[in-house]
Structure 1
Amino acid sequence: MQIGSVTTPFGRRPATLALVKRQIETSKIKPGKTADKWKVFRDASEARELLGLQDRSLAVLDALLSFHPDTELRQDAQLIVFPSNTQLTLRAHGIAGATLRRHLALLVEAGLIVRKDSANGKRYARKDKAGAIDSAFGFDLSPLLMRTDELAMMAQQVVADRFALRRAKENLTICRRDVRKLISAAIEEGASGNWENIEAMYVGLVGRIPRAPTLSDVNSILDEMELLLQEAVNILEVQQKDENNSTNGDQSERHIQNSNTESINELEPSSENEQGAKAVDDDRPK
């Protein structure tokens, strides 16, 4: 297996220190390490945005993996595949040659594969007398095996971020609805407060939401929207307290008036008692 040796690209492609570093790192894969190549591919697919890859890049990576005869990538196995551009184009759903070369370069730049170029730039393998591959020139899949754990963690982070973004969007939708309906109800029912200003702030916040917001975008706007909702609720609560105090004051005043009336009635004799008193006086002997 040819891993760990540093080679430079064929032709005009320049050598970079990052490329040299990746080739050196492939020689440090833990002995006996294995990984399911399609599991690694799924992790790389989930993490494609973090890796700077596009869908076409994944199609090319899928095609490269299909040329590896085993399902597993093993540290002690031959991990260099050497298909021609024509073969790669067919397995990558017929993409154009220039597109194929561009996405191969992206895969190299992302550190998922390493070029092992021959003296003339051709891709091929030499076999020994027993028919086993002795040396090969093409694309080395060793970086995929080396970065198995890293790619899995990146994929998990992407999934977690996607879930968090979905939850944040749901919370923002609910908060927007609450603010919008509270503003509408307050204006329609003539509630006191500067509701036009609150509505202008609401419209400004909604206008700042991007078409494809990130988690940071949503969380930032959600924080401001929640503050606006709290402000609207506080205004309505103050108004409700004022109304309750006013109602309690009216009830107390009516209670005092009723109490005063009852006191007057108790102190003054009724007209019937007055007439009764006179009747008793008339019955006494003269």
Structure 2
Amino acid sequence: ADSCAPGASANKWQVFRAVCEAKGLLGASDRALAVLNALLTFHPDTDLVEGEGLVVFPSNTQLALRAHGMAPATLRRHLSVLVDCGLVVRRDSPNGKRYARKGAGGEIEQAFGFDVTPLLARAEEFERMAEAVRAERRALQLLRERITILRRDIAKMISFGLEEGIAADWQRLHL
């Protein structure tokens, strides 16, 4: 299991955005991320804080509603993807249901469902992955711009050669 520094915290939506950008490196699909987004809506706070109830326990019905009406079999498949990608951990109850057991003071003592601790534990890793994806995207954009400029320069040279009557096989060069 992933572990965090005591008192570690991270904004769940910033982590989610980083995971979305790094989805290709993680092996997560858009639909699996829609399920992760829905799971995160069941965590009441904006920040994920180590040691403060990082298990969410929605029913499949409620989770499917927040995942835009996803079919039950599809929901289960994408939950498995999230587990396989190391984004969430299943915390199964003895009867397989998702629920929380509260103590005398009303505080949750034990919860069964999906533990989102990996999002907190791996937040920096996800951010590094997202930055790598952004850097690659920027490099690709610069390369495309460079190719566009070079293609224009070549077209201008061919046009110049034709206009000036310079002997060459301009048709072949154009192709």
In structure 1, distance between residues paired with 2:32 and 2:163? 55
In structure 1, distance between residues paired with 2:161 and 2:8? 66
Deviation at 1:183, TM superposition (A): 2.2
Tell me the secondary structure at the aligned position of residue 94 of structure 1. Answer: coil
Q: Indicate which of 50, 53, 56 corresponds to 1:75.
A: 50
In structure 2, distance between residues paired with 1:76 and 1:177? 59
In structure 2, distance between residues paired with 1:90 and 1:196? 61
Deviation at 1:69, TM superposition (A): 1.2
Amino acid at match of 1:71: T
1:41-74 Cα deviation digits (max 9, x unpaired): 1111111122122222221111101111111111
Aligned to 2:60: 85
Q: Is 2:151 the partner of 1:176?
A: yes
Q: Indicate which of 94, 101, 115 corresponds to 2:90.
A: 115
Q: Whose Rg is larger?
A: 1
1:200-244 Cα deviation digits (max 9, x unpaired): xxx4xxxxxxxxxxxxxxxxxxxxxxxxxxxxxxxxxxxxxxxxx
Structure with greater proportional helix content? 1
Aligned to 2:142: 167
Structure with greater proportional strand content? 2
Deviation at 1:156, TM superposition (A): 1.4
Deviation at 1:194, TM superposition (A): 4.5
Tell me the secondary structure at the aligned position of residue 138 of structure 1. Answer: strand
Q: Is 2:11 the partner of 1:40?
A: no
Q: Indicate which of 112, 119, 137 corresponds to 1:137.
A: 112
In structure 2, distance between residues paired with 1:119 and 1:57? 26
RMSD between aligned residues: 1.6
Deviation at 1:86, TM superposition (A): 0.5
Tell me the secondary structure at the aligned position of residue 102 of structure 1. Answer: helix
Aligned to 1:66: 41
**For structure 1, which segment, 77-86 or 96-105, has the greater mean C-alpha deviation from structure 2 after superposition?**
96-105
**For structure 1, which segment, 141-150 or 37-46, has the greater mean C-alpha deviation from structure 2 after superposition?**
37-46
Moved over 6 A (4+): none
Amino acid at match of 2:35: V
Tell me the secondary structure at the aligned position of residue 131 of structure 1. Answer: coil
Q: Indicate which of 120, 127, 135 corresponds to 1:152.
A: 127
TM-score norm. by structure 1 comes to: 0.58
Tell me the secondary structure at the aligned position of residue 68 of structure 2. Answer: coil
Question: Per chain length, whose mean CA-contact separation is higher, i.e. which structure has more relative contact order (CA < 8 Å, sep 6+)?
Answer: 2
Tell me the secondary structure at the aligned position of residue 112 of structure 2. Answer: strand
1:150-199 Cα deviation digits (max 9, x unpaired): 11111112222212211111111111121123224324543123445533
In structure 2, distance between residues paired with 1:65 and 1:143? 12
Amino acid at match of 1:131: G
1:248-277 Cα deviation digits (max 9, x unpaired): xxxxxxxxxxxxxxxxxxxxxxxxxxxxxx
In structure 1, distance between residues paired with 2:147 and 2:92? 52
Structure 2, unmatched stretches of 5+, are none
Tell me the secondary structure at the aligned position of residue 100 of structure 2. Answer: strand
In structure 2, distance between residues paired with 1:96 and 1:171? 46
In structure 1, distance between residues paired with 2:69 and 2:161? 61
- 1:187-202 residue pairs with structure 2 within 5 A? 187=162, 189-199=164-174
In structure 2, distance between residues paired with 1:100 and 1:73? 23
Aligned to 1:98: 73
Q: Indicate which of 14, 27, 30 corresponds to 1:55.
A: 30
